[in-house]
Amino acid sequence: MDASTGRNAAALVIGTTLVIVGIVLFVARITGAEVFGLLWPLFVILPGVVLLAVALSGTGAIAALIFPGAVLTTVGLVLLYQRLTGHWESWAYAWTLVVPTSIGIAMMIYGVREGKIRTGRRGVMTAGIGLVLFLVLLVLFEFVLNISGRFSGEATGIVGGALLVAAGLIVLGLSALRPRRRAR
């Protein structure tokens, strides 16, 4: 990739982000909508989506933009969920969706697009580990410690148990995908 291609990609990311944010602010001002109150996570999601779009349209160094795009988009989606539900305590375990899960998903996509099979396989493992961490920490923080006070009663044992079963199945599935080393 030459320098002009990198500059063009950077200009595309920055320009598109500025246009989207400008349109949102313009529409909010005309309609009187409260943009920052409810939808401020969009200001994190939109740049992430732009980075993902640029990454998926290019190769090489441009394709590597999938990593910051995945992280930004995932952080924004977690913040949007928390803003809409008021479930801010979920950050105690939702961070695992950002790192390592979103990085693993980005590695899978990058590996497939760039023909790097080992990177794709490592991405599957990384995303799987992230999902297992998420499920285990979700059960610990919400169903055992009840940090948010949202989950109580008999159903929590059933739901918590089902989530741990899902985590176990992911671990078993990842173990089955792992290549076996031959004895010498």
- How far apart, in whole angstroms, are the C-alpha atoms of residue 180 and residue 72? 35
pLDDT in tens, 72-86: 999 999 998 998 889
Residues shown for the chain: 184
The string of pLDDT tens digits covering residues 123-180 is 999 999 999 999 999 999 999 999 998 887 777 888 889 999 999 999 999 988 877 7
Q: Is 14 helix (H, G, I), strand (E, B) or coil?
A: helix
Q: Which of 158, 160, 131 is nearest to 143 (CA)?
A: 160
Asked whether the whole model's pTM tops 0.85, one would answer no
DSSP type of residue 178:
S
3-state class (DSSP) for residue 115: coil
- Residue 66 CA to residue 163 CA, distance in Å, equals 29
